[in-house]
A and B are shown apart, each in its own frame.
Chain A
Amino acid sequence: MSEPVTGISREDVVHLAGLARIDLSDAELDHLATELPAILEHVASVQEAAGDDVPAMSHPVPVDNVFREDVVRPSLAPADALAAAPASDQQRFLVPKILGEG
């Protein structure tokens, strides 16, 4: 991925699928590699809409300083916390071996 707005290659889609942690099949990769450029071409018009002086809007209804008092609220019972776990052991979530470090 080099220059912006030059489209999106199949390689790019492979890279994006890695970032998004989705093990897309070859067919899915092919499909997205043809579909995404068309969608991107359509949405690219946003780049011409505003200059540098226009602030970006992250929150549609502005409200600042929403805080919570530092007061303990009940946690879930461990059984409820773990109820949906695909696997658990010793009151912990069991996950497959982790390769890299965080």
Chain B
Amino acid sequence: MTVETLVPFEEALTRYDPVMGLEIHIELNTATKMFCGCPTEFGAEPNTQVCPVCLALPGALPVVNAKAVESAIRMGLALNCEIAQWCRFARKNYFYPDMPKNFQTSQYDEPIAFDGYVDVEVDGETFRIEIERAHMEEDTGKALHVGGSTGRIHGADFSLVDYNRAGIPLIEIVTRTIEVPPEKAPAVARAYVSHVRDLIGGLGVSDVRMDQGSLRADVNLSLKPKGSTTLGTRSETKNVNSFRSVERAVRFEISRHAGILDAGGRVVQETRHFQEDTGTTLSGREKSDADDYRYFPEPDLAPVSPSREWVEELRATLPEPPAVRRARLQADWGFSDLDMRDTIGAGALDLIVATVEAGTTPQAAKKWWLGEMARRANESGHDLDALGITPQQVAEIQGLIDAKRINDKLARSVFDGVIAGEGTPEEVVVSRKLEVVSDDGALGAAVDRAIEGDPDAAAKIRAGNLGVAGALIGAVMKEMRGQADAGRVRELILEKLS
């Protein structure tokens, strides 16, 4: 492997313009697979959700899942696409051990949805991303690479394949070339993926979890020298498992391509894999003329011709458009424009919605998700929804604070416990002994000791100088190891010194 020289992002953009496209694969949350009645539950025992169809046993035939078509049409409509009057499935032929038929049943030149767009916002500016197509296809199985030192595919001795995932419905959404100011490209890429996640999540057709692979983004990128019209060779980066990674992958590939081009090299057309730990990409498989997929219309499946009545019925089921919804939420919540921008930028909109639905005020929900949770997400490199804590749990913790059973500081320890899998917030409070002391007897004794220990302060308070109460409160809190309600301590001190 050659060592690549990276050119810093900003410097790269002085000489090159990025040409970017994004492909998003959405795993639908249908009860059954795309072409057979096998269940689709995540995390089932290996090869327990397989049948003659999805194992490609000789003789088996596919039948299309109606719900998947319905979901595809609703997604197409949400992406402002045209819905095909008539379209077919097609076979994409290539050999791979995780693909039982050695062809993927997909769509080729007749996608179910095409010519759409979405408007995404970055730093208060709106960018229109054009959608070329959204088509139906199926997922592959999963190979576990055994042996070798890395556990990765390279150097493995053999592989173990589980076909539970083979045949789960996927919708692939392909953008046209995204044309934005070069320096905005990484942020726009991230915002687009985040926007699509919210949009599709709002339809209820997918779990849209990047960390679980139900939303997967591929970044296609090439550079062209400034002023040139010649397109460069593109790389296709897969394994981008978070919004943050989308942004990092775009930045890294721009730096990498620029390094190669500056050195007079040739960018290889290939699949690359994003490395979460280093923020870099590694070479996967070189695309070559061997990738001749020999697409042809799938003769085993009937064409799909959704009636206009059906399409209109499905259009009527769409939730309000994102812009309308945001405006409504902003008004309901009383957020400033800046609050709203931060919320969307952090991918926290739906999390805050859910937290508020679970009984918390919008302000409190925002405080946690954009503060404590955003900090944790940033540190761990996860997206907010992959932190291991749910909006319901956040709401529960805020409830404990409101009930004065814990305070903000203790809440952080509750978050730690919940994220570490120690149980519900309630259980964590108990097991970590975090509950604040609300027993006036115990608190009173601590207050007495504090007054005794600092007679000067006590005298000043008696004289009406309440500004020094903080010193006594601090002493009490210290003795109680933080597990006291500071407000109540203050009340007790003032009572005793009045």
- Whether the pair B303, A64 counts as a contact (CB closer than 8 A) is yes
Question: What are the residues of chain A within 8 A of B320 when measuring CB–CB?
Answer: none
Q: Contacts A72-B32, A73-B36, A102-B140 hold; do A65 and B68 have CB atoms under 8 A apart?
A: no
For window 60-102 of A, CB contacts with B under 8 Å fall at 62-76, 78, 81-82, 89-98, 100-102
User: Does B461 have its Cβ within 8 Å of any Cβ on chain A?
Assistant: no
Question: What are the residues of chain A within 8 A of B64 when measuring CB–CB?
Answer: 66-68
In the bound complex, CA of A90 to CA of B37 (Å): 24
- Whether the pair A101, B153 counts as a contact (CB closer than 8 A) is yes
User: Does A54 have its Cβ within 8 Å of any Cβ on chain B?
Assistant: no
Q: Contacts A76-B55, A81-B50 hold; do A71 and B31 have CB atoms under 8 A apart?
A: yes
Q: Contacts A58-B297, A67-B65, A70-B68 hold; do A97 and B98 have CB atoms under 8 A apart?
A: no
Interface string of B142-172 (1 = CB under 8 A from A): 0111010000010011111111000000000
List the A residue with the shortest CB-CB distance to B144.
Answer: A92
- Whether the pair B31, A72 counts as a contact (CB closer than 8 A) is yes
In the bound complex, CA of A36 to CA of B96 (Å): 27
Q: Contacts A66-B302, A92-B144, A97-B159 hold; do A76 and B50 have CB atoms under 8 A apart?
A: yes
User: Does A18 have its Cβ within 8 Å of any Cβ on chain B?
Assistant: yes
List the B residue with the shortest CB-CB distance to A95.
Answer: B97
User: Does B260 have its Cβ within 8 Å of any Cβ on chain A?
Assistant: no
Question: What are the residues of chain B within 8 A of A73 when measuring CB–CB?
Answer: 32, 36-38, 51
- Whether the pair B160, A67 counts as a contact (CB closer than 8 A) is no
User: Does A59 have its Cβ within 8 Å of any Cβ on chain B?
Assistant: yes
List the B residue with the shortest CB-CB distance to A76.
Answer: B51
In the bound complex, CA of A76 to CA of B52 (Å): 8
User: Does B491 have its Cβ within 8 Å of any Cβ on chain A?
Assistant: no
In the bound complex, CA of A82 to CA of B95 (Å): 20
In the bound complex, CA of A63 to CA of B304 (Å): 9
- Whether the pair A19, B159 counts as a contact (CB closer than 8 A) is no
- Whether the pair A91, B46 counts as a contact (CB closer than 8 A) is yes
Grouping DSSP codes into helix (H, G, I), strand (E, B) and loop, the B interface class, with mixed when no group exceeds half, is loop
- Whether the pair B49, A75 counts as a contact (CB closer than 8 A) is yes
Q: Contacts A71-B32, A72-B38, A72-B39 hold; do A89 and B160 have CB atoms under 8 A apart?
A: yes
Number of residues of chain A lying within 8 A (CB) of chain B: 36
Question: What are the residues of chain A within 8 A of B468 when measuring CB–CB?
Answer: none
Contact of B47 among A65, A69, A81, A95 (CB under 8 A): A81
User: Does A21 have its Cβ within 8 Å of any Cβ on chain B?
Assistant: yes
In the bound complex, CA of A56 to CA of B88 (Å): 13
Contact of A65 among B37, B52, B97, B305 (CB under 8 A): B305
In the bound complex, CA of A79 to CA of B409 (Å): 54
- Whether the pair A101, B284 counts as a contact (CB closer than 8 A) is yes
- Whether the pair B47, A59 counts as a contact (CB closer than 8 A) is no
- Whether the pair A90, B46 counts as a contact (CB closer than 8 A) is yes
User: Does B66 have its Cβ within 8 Å of any Cβ on chain A?
Assistant: yes
Nearest Cβ on chain B to A44's Cβ, whole angstroms: 19
- Whether the pair A65, B302 counts as a contact (CB closer than 8 A) is yes
In the bound complex, CA of A80 to CA of B55 (Å): 11
Question: What are the residues of chain A within 8 A of B284 when measuring CB–CB?
Answer: 100-101
- Whether the pair A75, B38 counts as a contact (CB closer than 8 A) is yes
Question: What are the residues of chain B within 8 A of A82 when measuring CB–CB?
Answer: 47
Q: Contacts A58-B88, A70-B67, A98-B156 hold; do A93 and B294 have CB atoms under 8 A apart?
A: no
List the A residue with the shortest CB-CB distance to B164.
Answer: A75
Nearest Cβ on chain A to B443's Cβ, whole angstroms: 58
- Whether the pair B47, A101 counts as a contact (CB closer than 8 A) is no
- Whether the pair A66, B301 counts as a contact (CB closer than 8 A) is yes
User: Does B292 have its Cβ within 8 Å of any Cβ on chain A?
Assistant: yes
List the B residue with the shortest CB-CB distance to A57.
Answer: B297
What 10 A-B pairs have minimum CB-CB distances, sorted nearest first? A73-B37, A70-B67, A67-B66, A92-B160, A66-B302, A58-B297, A68-B63, A93-B161, A102-B96, A101-B284
A-B contact pairs, 11 of them (CB 8 A): A64-B86, A68-B63, A72-B32, A75-B49, A78-B48, A81-B47, A81-B163, A92-B160, A94-B159, A97-B158, A98-B143
